[in-house]
Structure 1
């Protein structure tokens, strides 16, 4: 019997996906690029960006690896990543669980906010490790919503309480689609158990910013029908929450983004 496929809750086919990718890039790209800097990404490197989503990371990598390098950006839906395609960047539709691994090896394999959502995330991780050249680096960045489950840390009024109830409903929807809400914290152990060397990890935890609010609004808009159907909120409550975000009355926070990296033995 084949695997039962679950459709990703936050589909790239919806218009809000572009807003989400823009907010994610504003929030997390500086953090991701700092790690890539420290890992030594340079001219001539071959890089695989898995689950690319938007174009920002492939474009940055292309600027680093230059004409002698290569960037492969893959996703199950490449419509938002396609603008990054060029002489250095190949954008390819690819399912990291179902499809054959690329017929090449890489100096860097990176995925951000991907594995937590996959039901067969262990297979995806094996595929990415298998695509590393000896001495190559794997950088995985994923959220841990169970580590910090709130939307508003300072729950001092009804708007903050509503935001936290909607975040709880969203987490329930994610878990129902196969997401592991405590996945981020397991990354160091998983990389070590996979036989990688020099395992390290840290975390980024934005407390509030306009981009946090935009990401929250796009996410809630994208899943509003599922929240209502699941009994997590009413139309009126969702509209009230979106209005509070738009008015700047909420300090919206996110789950920590845990970054873990390690090298394949030479």
Structure 2
């Protein structure tokens, strides 16, 4: 790993994935992320005019699906970093590293930097954002995908589920997340931040997926509740409400929008 630029530590940092990547459930979550997001990620990245054999950085690489995608599509080299590389294999064109982005951004220059579901969850997001731009090559692209809250229960299997939904979301996204420094407004602020940093050709795509009971979004959310069970219960959420929340997500009648997802891309002006 090349020289890092140090950034200030944050004592309230909470693992941005909210789960243990080394566990079986963590592996399921990483695979779920790939299944849910990789199609859109591929579509966004495939539109970017990159040089031949670009040098790329993938942050929060997870199981490596996006890093492999970039390497295969571009024929270039990808530095893939994550807090836990248990499920991040070395493959052609992909160089995995265990690294905490809070400790600094790997030195570039990079023709492409991509981070998915990372900056929303990091208190030092704006400082890291500035460092990412510093490490872009002239003409290089920064692509960020982050989540916001949709928080819409459209069809509840039981009338009382509206109260359970409210209690769970209050615990998860108004207590646990903010206490850890998560900012669910960041995703929709990224476009303005890129313009403000002098990037050009800035574009943003905003998606609000619809989840059905037993479907992939509901399964992902249920698994996430299991990984974050201890801090959620510490807020005062009851195990009875937690169990009902998970049961609700398996009901075929259930329909909801959990998150919005915003992909934002910007290009560093050529020197």
The answer to whether 1:70 aligns with 2:96 is no
Which digits, 9 at most, give the CA deviation of each residue in 1:209-258, with x for residues without a partner? 41111111111111122121111x21122122222323434224221101
Q: Which stretch shows the higher mean deviation, 153-162 or 186-195? A: 153-162
Contact 1:42–1:64, Cα closer than 8 Å, also in 2: no
Contact 1:41–1:64, Cα closer than 8 Å, also in 2: no
Match of 1:58 in 2: 67
Match of 2:4 in 1: none
The answer to whether 1:235 aligns with 2:224 is no
The alpha-carbon deviation at position 47 of structure 1 amounts to 1.3
Which digits, 9 at most, give the CA deviation of each residue in 1:152-193, with x for residues without a partner? 233572224313321221102100100112111100110011
| Contiguous gaps of at least 5 residues in structure 2 | 1-7
Which digits, 9 at most, give the CA deviation of each residue in 1:38-97, with x for residues without a partner? 11457512211111122211121121122xx101111122223x22x1231000112222
Answer 1 or 2: which has greater strand percent: 2
Contact 1:74–1:93, Cα closer than 8 Å, also in 2: yes
Match of 1:191 in 2: 194
Match of 2:170 in 1: 168
For residue 161 of structure 1, give the secondary structure of its aligned residue in structure 2: helix
| Contiguous gaps of at least 5 residues in structure 1 | none
Match of 2:94 in 1: 89
Q: Which stretch shows the higher mean deviation, 52-61 or 245-254? A: 245-254
Contact 1:97–1:124, Cα closer than 8 Å, also in 2: yes
- State which of 28, 32, 55 in structure 2 corresponds to 1:19: 28
Normalised TM-score (structure 2): 0.87
Contact 2:9–2:102, Cα closer than 8 Å, also in 1: no
Match of 1:248 in 2: 252
Match of 1:154 in 2: 155
Match of 1:219 in 2: 224
Once residues 70 and 227 of structure 1 are traced to their aligned partners in structure 2, the CA distance between those partners, rounded to angstroms, is 40
Contact 1:47–1:106, Cα closer than 8 Å, also in 2: yes
For residue 216 of structure 1, give the secondary structure of its aligned residue in structure 2: helix
Contact 1:149–1:168, Cα closer than 8 Å, also in 2: no
Q: Which stretch shows the higher mean deviation, 236-245 or 205-214? A: 236-245
The answer to whether 1:182 aligns with 2:185 is yes
- State which of 79, 82, 95 in structure 1 corresponds to 2:86: 79
Once residues 11 and 221 of structure 1 are traced to their aligned partners in structure 2, the CA distance between those partners, rounded to angstroms, is 9
Once residues 50 and 42 of structure 2 are traced to their aligned partners in structure 1, the CA distance between those partners, rounded to angstroms, is 10
